Amino acid sequence: MPRCETNMDTTETFQKDWALEQEDTLHPPMVTVEIAGKVYQVPAGITLLKALWYTGHEVIRGAGCLGGFCGACATYYRTKDDPKVKTCLACSFAVEDGMAFSFAPPFPARKAIYQISELQDPKQDLFELYPEAPMCRNCNACTEACPQSIDVREGVWRAVFGDFKSVSDMFMNCVMCGLCAPVCIADIAPNLVAIYASRVQGAHFTEKPKDIEARIKAIEEGQYEKDWERILRMSDEELQQATVSCP
Amino acid sequence: MNLRALQDIVHQTREFRCTQTIPKLTVAEREKLIRQYHPDYREQAYQTIRFGPNAGDRTVRELAMLLEGDSPIPADFPLTPDYTVDVLVIGGGGAGCAAALHAHAQGAHVLLATKLRLADSNSIMAQGGMQVAVAPDDSPIQHFLDTLRGGHMKNDHQLLKVMVEEGPLITKWLIELGVLFDRSPDGNLQVKTGGGSSRARLLTCSDYTGLEIMRVLKDEVLNQNIHVLEFAAAVELLSDEEGTCTGAILRDLDNKRFIVVAAKAVILATGGIGRLHIQGFPTSNHYGATGDGLALAYRIGAPLVEIDTFQYHPSGAVYPEQLVGALVTEGIRSEGGHLVNAKGERFVNELDTRDVVSSSIIRECQEGRGVRTASGRVGVWLDTPLLELEHGQGTLDKHFPAMVRQYERFGVDIRKEPVLIYPTLHYQNGGVKIDVNSETPVRNLFVAGEASGGLHGRNRLMGNSLLDLMVFGRRAGLAAAARAKMIAQGKLSLAHLERFRAEARKHGVSNQVISPAILPAYTKTS
Ligand SMILES: Cc1cc2nc3c(=O)[nH]c(=O)nc-3n(C[C@H](O)[C@H](O)[C@H](O)COP(=O)(O)OP(=O)(O)OC[C@H]3O[C@@H](n4cnc5c(N)ncnc54)[C@H](O)[C@@H]3O)c2cc1C
Ligand code: SF4
Ligand code: SF4
Ligand code: FES
């Protein structure tokens, strides 16, 4: 019993959040969807994830942030009469009539292990860590698989050419769903190549901000101690009014 | 009338609104507004906790039930450890990852157990940014004062001093790990203004700050070969004869088996509570935000603080239905976006503290100046197109790509259309009481991040949570590792649970609720 099924309050309150129980959506139009091969009727317009709950599925793997940021709900779907299977994030994508979908299973891609601060020549090290990266055959399947519309193929090439800055910009919205990896005919896990390049860009190729060093030094040297003494002795009323001069 | 028609008033009144300045409320006005409209003051939503460390205190019903709830573990449960480690970290969000990395760096043998996948958390969704006093016109003390005023002067001064002073240091750590904070042209960290702050102090990674930080931290946890157990939810803590914490029992959510972990120190980093849907509010939180850490800590005897106050983020999406509860980043207001009622009027200084802004939105809606959607929800407008007009076309794409995408998926173009918002349950202001090393009054039990309490007083300022996670995650990791070096593994027992159950019986509590909740019960059973 890992869930709070007995907790009526919680269940009830959820009902209020449950879009379908709203006044004029009491009888929402229903659509037909196929979930992992079975056909169900679900209210139009709800997310794929809510459709799973609605049809009685218990979801443990397959849900995470519920906000489109974590990639846990990576899903394959196909719309009516279209042969193309596409991908989406089930927590942030709406059902439509005739849609078929199922969760993408976890994919055991290989992640290279490295010590970020010890990398001597990170652009060259990429080829040691991910020797498959330059083997990209331009099939573009990764780009087509990406629910975040990242130009993944281009990103892999930029990483290979050492343009880590572009990679870090291009993959800023990568939710690490991993959907780009199983499709790769060269066994590249583009998202893992990208996070490497992006971290390297931050740790090795971006100027260290001077302000922060100055502030750390000021704190360590006790520049604020006098003010702290004054401030920490104050009453709430005094604190409400207090001002400090910034160095 | 359809929503698009109702929007017209926002476009028509824009020019006039831009000439207005709405003053922030005085302290007295704030208190009055909040008392009248903030959900924290709805008496009927609260009850008194009957027993345990906080007996006699008030909290919301949903939480009280779980605190008084029973453990899934029977008294005679065999406690043979499956794992024996120095430090057990429970929770794989920002606080948990920071704690695990720092404990590991001190040479501790660390196990990180988390309920979902590593990094699936509230932390990954943080868009607004992280407050750190780095700018030349700013100082840790100014940060301290702003936070205190935002927290209604109830913040723990010592915890707060630690947070503001260690902010720059922890930021440096993140940068060295490769986190790409936005920079200004001179190479320094770019700072943005956040609600309730007197200085520009928010560090951002466009509007993917949490995602960028969590991607890096997760990658780093894996690089350090820290042992991670995913889909493993803590359901009970373990204690020795002196009542100190000695480990935990986890439940493997894949095969439903229990896992016993012996640990010299335990760090709870289980995050918040939004999925309890307090007072029926929708929430911005992740799937696992069910307040598990509070229930676990409470049963072993750790007191909680400020658990009668929650943060309702002013801007939760109201439309389209699929987004209900989801967060609309505060950044929009930080960059000048107006809040507009159904009559086309501004009604609050958009950069006032969250509790003030939320209360004022609730007031507008209660008094009939809200906008109603077809599904019966009510909200007020957030004027997003204004940003395009004020700061130039492309501003939204450049500064808020995540939000543009969030709405585009459902056919709403926020560059042209304002969005409807209403407060959403966002953050648990209080939590388990900790000291400056993140330790609770129960020895060897540490709590870091949103699950802890005291630091934010009665209202957390925007951007202070990410900083809290990193600073106290680090402190918890360091202190737990140091403790583990000094002590031997204590005995594993459920003595605290026996005491807890005796208390429950004494108070006639048998509400049948099994706690912690672990996941919300969303699956429709019929
Ligand atoms: C949408 C959103 C936007 C936000 N934006 C900002 C922002 O811009 N700036 C800011 O400073 N703050 C922001 N916050 C607040 C901040 O993100 C959170 O307070 C913070 O991330 C909490 O971090 P945490 O590590 O304590 O918990 P979380 O990040 O939530 O992590 C908790 C972890 O514990 C796990 N867990 C829970 N229960 C158990 C259990 N029983 N056993 C094992 N594991 C368990 C969870 O699965 C999760 O992995 C935002 C919050 C949300 C929801
Ligand atoms: S790049 Fe790959 S992992 Fe990242 S969002 Fe796209 S498909 Fe998912
Ligand atoms: S799927 Fe692989 S081979 Fe094809 S374009 Fe992407 S990286 Fe290259
Ligand atoms: S649950 Fe995180 S992206 Fe869908």
Kindly report, residue by residue over A220-236, the tens digit of the pLDDT: 999 999 999 999 999 99
Atom of ligand 1 nearest to the CA of B123: 21
In A64-170, which ranges are continuous DSSP H helix? Answer: 122-129, 141-145, 152-160, 164-170
Cα pseudo-dihedral B115, B120, B126, B132, rounded to 10: 70
For B184-219, write each residue's pLDDT tens digit.
999 999 999 887 889 999 999 998 999 999 999 999
Distance in angstroms (rounded) separating the CA atoms of residues B421 and B339: 9
Residue B514 has pLDDT above 70, yes or no: yes
**Which residues' Cβ are closer than 6 Å to ligand 1?**
A 67; B 90-96, 113-116, 120-123, 125-130, 209-210, 233-234, 269-272, 284-286, 288-289, 292, 327, 427, 449-451, 463-466, 469, 516
Q: HEC string of B19-40?
A: CCCCCCCCHHHHHHHHHHHCHH
Distance in angstroms (rounded) separating the CA atoms of residues B386 and A140: 38
For B14-42, write each residue's pLDDT tens digit.
999 999 999 999 989 999 999 999 999 99
Q: Do B287 and A63 touch (CB under 8 A)?
A: yes
Domains and CATH numbers, chain A: 28-103 (3.10.20.30), 116-205 (1.10.1060.10), 210-242 (no CATH)
Please say whether the beta carbons of B497 and B71 come within 8 A.
Answer: yes
Residue B334 has pLDDT above 90, yes or no: no
Q: Do A7 and B66 touch (CB under 8 A)?
A: yes
Q: Do A65 and B208 touch (CB under 8 A)?
A: no
For A73-120, write each residue's pLDDT tens digit.
999 999 999 999 999 999 999 999 999 999 999 999 999 999 999 999
Identify from B66, B353, B522, B523 which residue to disrupt to test chain A contact, counting A C-beta atoms within 10 A and taking the largest count: B522
For B483-505, write each residue's pLDDT tens digit.
999 999 999 999 999 999 999 99
Distance in angstroms (rounded) separating the CA atoms of residues B37 and B370: 14
pTM, 2 dp: 0.94
Residue A7 has pLDDT above 90, yes or no: no
Q: Nearest CA of chain A to the CA of B378: how many Å?
A: 12
Phi/psi of residue B403, nearest 5 degrees: -70, -40
What are the structure tokens assigned to A9, written together?
A: 């309050």
* Nearest by CB: B116 against A64, A116, A244: A64
* Closest by CA position to B313, among listed B274, B365, B369: B274
Residues of A in contact with B223 (CB under 8 A): 113-116
Ligand 4 center to B121 CA (angstroms): 10
Per-residue pLDDT band for A27 (boundaries 50, 70, 90) equals: low
User: How confident is the model at residue B37, as a pLDDT?
Assistant: 96
For B210-262, write each residue's pLDDT tens digit.
999 999 999 999 999 999 999 999 999 999 999 999 999 999 999 999 999 99
Section B39-62 average pLDDT: 96
Please say whether the beta carbons of A178 and A189 come within 8 A.
Answer: yes
Beta carbon of A74 within 6 Å of any ligand 3 atom: no
**Which residues' Cβ are closer than 6 Å to ligand 4?**
A 63-66, 68-73, 89, 91, 175
Domains and CATH numbers, chain B: 3-37+311-425 (3.90.700.10), 83-309+429-500 (3.50.50.60)
Provide the CA B183 distance to its chain's centre, in angstroms.
Answer: 26
**Residues 6 or more apart whose Cβ sits within 8 Å of residue B242:** B443, B490
Interface contact A5, partner B, CB < 8 A? yes
Q: Nearest CA of chain B to the CA of A152: how many Å?
A: 17
The b-or-e profile of B167-176 (16+ CB within 10 A means b, else e) is bbbbbbebbe
Q: How far is CA B339 from CA B194, B351, B380, in A?
A: 16, 10, 7
- State the DSSP string of B291-355: -HHHHHHHHHT--EESTT-EEEEEEEE-SSGGGTTPBPPTHHHHTTPPEE-TTS---S-TTS-HH
Among left, alpha and beta (phi > 0; psi -120 to 50; other), residue B328 is: beta
Residue A10 has pLDDT above 50, yes or no: no
**Residues 6 or more apart whose Cβ sits within 8 Å of residue B236:** B71, B72, B73, B248, B249, B296, B299, B494, B497
The alpha-carbon radius of gyration of chain A (Å, integer) is 25
More confident residue, A25 or B148: B148
Residue A5 has pLDDT above 50, yes or no: no
User: How confident is the model at residue A17, as a pLDDT?
Assistant: 39
What are the structure tokens assigned to A131, written together?
A: 């020797």
ipTM of the complex in this document: 0.92
User: How confident is the model at residue B51, as a pLDDT?
Assistant: 97
More confident residue, A128 or A45: A128
Beta carbon of A183 within 6 Å of any ligand 3 atom: yes
Place of tokens 């008094």: B367
Per-residue pLDDT band for A150 (boundaries 50, 70, 90) equals: very high
Q: Which residue's CA lies nearest to atom 4 of ligand 2? A: A174
